[in-house]
Amino acid sequence: MSYERGTAIEWVPGHGFDQRSYDERLAFFLEMKRPMTPGVVRKVAPPDLQDPKVQEEVDESKRNILKLMAIGGLAAVAAGGAVGAALQYVQPPMQGLASYPRVQLLYSDGTPVQVGNIDSHIDPTSTDAFLFQYPLDGEPNFLLNLQGKYGKPPSALGPTPGGNFVVAYSAICQHLGCIPPFLSFYPSNVAEQCQYNGGAPFLHCVCHGSTYDPYVQSNVSGGGANILTGPTVSPLPQVILDTDTSGNIFAVKNIGPDVKGHFQTLLGGNPGPVPAPLAKTSVPPYGTSGSTQRCP
Ligand code: FES
């Protein structure tokens, strides 16, 4: 593993990073938080604390953390001589993952998600979103049950008893990172009302208008849901699904670009829940009061 400046970080939990000083880790964290340019791979250099600019950022961040502690009544902890421990606590731990885990998907009541039972849980004509976190905590993904009459999506499971196909995509817009309900699923009836995509279902982000086709694999960035309209220049990362001999569904890896906000999909956060439960997000149907859905 190399920590030379200018190289991409290859950090494996427990191998070097944990032994670094608090200032070095804080500088690294600040570097990772910088905004990313869509479609541009950014190499993250390890911190150089000899650089006055880096040291000033670290000092400023520490001052801000201390201000927050004072506001939150944690000043007493600092006065007790536990400043270092408190700062460790405030800093996100970011354990990351060394490789993609195989994670079973469950309905919210704990029932395993299966190709054979998904039609009775996820209506392919509904705007409701069913989200699970993978591979990191707080990283939502859509689990979609797509109508088969529009074709077989790439790497889909199925057909289901109802003739649908099961796929999963990141629910973090690759433009600037909007999430559901702003990034949402438009079923065929909404696609027809919008006279968009030939009436085939799509994913649309109302933040700035990016649209993705869950039936077509992008031929750039290693796959993912194809871009129908920008401003995104990056397809929506796909979560590859697999089944066991009982038909239970598992998330096994991501393909396509790195999830928005991460310079490497497996780093920059803590591992997601295992197994991963689905959370339902209700999106009021297009045209109704309070709906976040707008035609592209
Ligand atoms: S964040 Fe989705 S289009 Fe800009």
Tens-level pLDDT at each residue, the chain (296 residues): 333 333 333 333 333 444 455 666 656 556 655 555 444 444 455 566 777 777 777 677 666 655 655 555 555 444 545 555 555 555 555 788 999 999 999 999 999 999 999 999 999 999 999 999 999 998 999 999 999 999 999 999 999 999 999 999 999 999 999 999 999 999 999 999 999 999 999 999 999 999 999 999 999 889 999 999 999 999 999 999 999 999 999 999 999 999 988 878 898 888 999 999 999 998 888 888 888 889 99
Domain with CATH 2.102.10.10 in the chain: 103-281
- Atom 3 of ligand 1: nearest residue by CA position: 208
Q: In what order do the strands lie in the sheet with 225-229?
A: 183-186, 202-205, 211-217, 225-229
Could you give the CA distance from residue 85 to residue 24 in angstroms, rounded to a whole number? 16
- What is the Å distance from ligand 1's center to 126 Cα? 22
Could you tell me if the CB of 207 is within 6 A of ligand 1? yes
Could you tell me if the CB of 233 is within 6 A of ligand 1? no
Q: How many residues in total does the chain contain?
A: 296
- What is the Å distance from ligand 1's center to 139 Cα? 16
The yes/no answer on whether domain 103-281 falls in CATH 2.102.10.10 is: yes
Atom of ligand 1 nearest to the CA of 177: 1
Could you give the CA distance from residue 200 to residue 187 in angstroms, rounded to a whole number? 7
Cβ neighbourhood burial of 117 (10 Å; 0-12, 13-18, 19+): middle
Distances from the Cα of 290 to the Cα of 140, 282, 285, 287, 293, angstroms: 22, 11, 9, 9, 9
Could you give the CA distance from residue 133 to residue 142 in angstroms, rounded to a whole number? 9
- What is the Å distance from ligand 1's center to 211 Cα? 9
The answer to whether the predicted template modeling score (pTM) of the entire model surpasses 0.75 is no
